[in-house]
């Protein structure tokens, strides 16, 4: 069994690092594991419970040249394992929405998706699962063009002439149908160790959501605005003792001509044996960009997470050293039917 898991892991790594793709960047999180449906559609319904609902919010604001510039990204999701197939397989469905808004002109990228995933047990005990997910929905982009100011307009105002036509006249919102897909391996190696590793692909249809008015024209596929991309991610969970837990994770994201690598380690501590609360804290690093300060609390069916990014790249000169905050919360609803116990009739011996 262990060798099978190693083979699957190597397969994921090979697919992730040797597939030649050009990608369009999607929203990204420091708390990426708390936004499962934006990370990988194969995570849809991948938990023990009746339904799961959650949300995540990212904010970064700093003083620009003349005003406060903001970047905000809220996202919400809900999913559920709805259909059992046999004794160990099941199907999950879900939906999610995000809206990424940036800059003074409110450049907005939005996605509204529905997803479905099939979870297949690879052994009789169900300790190893292979999951496949598909996600479809609407990807859209918009901008508040009235907030833009072009050099030709400044020159016209200075010269006292009428403002000429600008790029603003051709800017408009656009939307298109999009598909994402993913695969994930989940395995419990023993009572103290489990792992999951996944590979997801975004913008499979390479939808054209440009803002220059050409979204309905015959734009060459290779120059469309949203290009095919992928994410390779993994999480390893170790129970070190009755009190201590360790969870290292990673995320590699290929986005257009650039790529992004995040590595994190969370240490968890159980408050006591009677209280199910686990407090977690740890560092993270987005390669060449930011240090991440991470914390979280698990209590029964609730999960809470928070993070702060400390910019360590040259971008600190632009954002004045002000990092980004994230907050995430999820809740798993558990409604299990109580077993029906038939009364036992004891017949006394005569």
Q: Would you list the domain boundaries of the chain?
A: 2-333
Say yes or no: domain 2-333 is CATH 3.30.420.40. no
Q: Give the C-alpha separation, 144 to 236, whole Å.
A: 43
Q: What is the signed CA dihedral for 81, 86, 87, 93, rounded to 10 degrees?
A: -10
The H or E element that residue 38 is part of is: helix 36-39
Confidence (pTM): 0.80
Taking 90 as the threshold, does the pLDDT of residue 174 lie above it?
no
Mean pLDDT of 138-149: 75
Residue range 4-29, pLDDT digits in tens: 444 444 444 444 433 333 333 457 79
The pLDDT score that the predictor gives to residue 342 is: 57
Residue 2: pLDDT over 80: no
Residues whose CB is less than 8 angstroms from the CB of residue 183 and which lie 6 or more positions away in sequence, other chains included: 12, 42, 130, 131, 132, 133, 198, 199, 200
pLDDT at 208: 82
Percentage above 90 pLDDT, the chain: 52
Which pLDDT score, from 0 to 100, does residue 318 have? 62
Question: Does 143 or 308 have the greater pLDDT score?
Answer: 308
> pLDDT value at position 158?
57
For 21-35, 149-163, 260-274, 292-306, which range has the lowest pLDDT when averaged over its residues? 149-163
- Using the 8-state DSSP alphabet, how is residue 32 labeled? G
């Amino acid at each position: 069994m262990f060798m099978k898991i190693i083979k699957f892991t190597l397969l994921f790594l090979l697919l992730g690092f040797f597939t030649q793709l050009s990608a369009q960047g999607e929203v990204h999180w420091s708390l990426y594991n708390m936004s499962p449906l934006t990370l990988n559609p194969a995570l849809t319904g991948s938990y023990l419970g009746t339904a799961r609902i959650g949300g995540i919010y990212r904010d970064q604001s700093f003083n620009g040249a003349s005003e406060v510039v903001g970047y905000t990204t809220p996202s919400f999701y809900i999913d559920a394992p709805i259909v059992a197939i046999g004794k160990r397989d099941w199907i999950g469905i879900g939906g999610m929405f995000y809206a990424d808004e940036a800059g003074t002109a409110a450049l907005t990228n939005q996605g509204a998706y529905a997803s479905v995933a099939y979870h297949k047990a690879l052994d009789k005990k169900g300790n190893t699962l292979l999951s496949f997910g598909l996600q479809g929905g609407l990807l859209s982009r918009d901008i508040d063009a009235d907030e833009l100011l072009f050099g030709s307009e400044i020159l016209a105002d200075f010269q006292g002439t009428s403002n000429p036509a600008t790029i603003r006249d051709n800017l408009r919102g656009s939307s298109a149908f999009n598909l994402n897909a993913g695969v994930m391996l989940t395995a419990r190696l023993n009572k103290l160790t489990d792992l999951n590793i996944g590979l997801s692909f975004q913008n499979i249809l390479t939808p054209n959501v440009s803002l220059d008015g050409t979204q309905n024209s015959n734009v060459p596929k290779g120059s469309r605005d949203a290009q095919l991309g992928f994410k390779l991610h993994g999480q390893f969970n170790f129970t070190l003792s009755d009190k201590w837990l360790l969870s290292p994770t990673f995320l590699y994201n290929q986005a257009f001509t650039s790529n992004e690598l995040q590595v994190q380690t969370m240490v968890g501590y159980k408050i006591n044996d009677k209280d199910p609360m686990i407090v977690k804290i740890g560092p993270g690093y987005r390669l060449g960009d930011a240090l991440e300060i991470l914390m979280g609390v698990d209590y029964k069916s609730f999960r809470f997470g928070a993070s702060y990014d400390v910019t360590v790249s040259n971008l600190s000169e632009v954002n004045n050293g002000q990092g980004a905050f994230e907050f995430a919360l999820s809740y798993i609803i558990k409604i299990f039917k109580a077993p029906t116990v038939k009364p036992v009739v004891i017949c006394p011996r005569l």
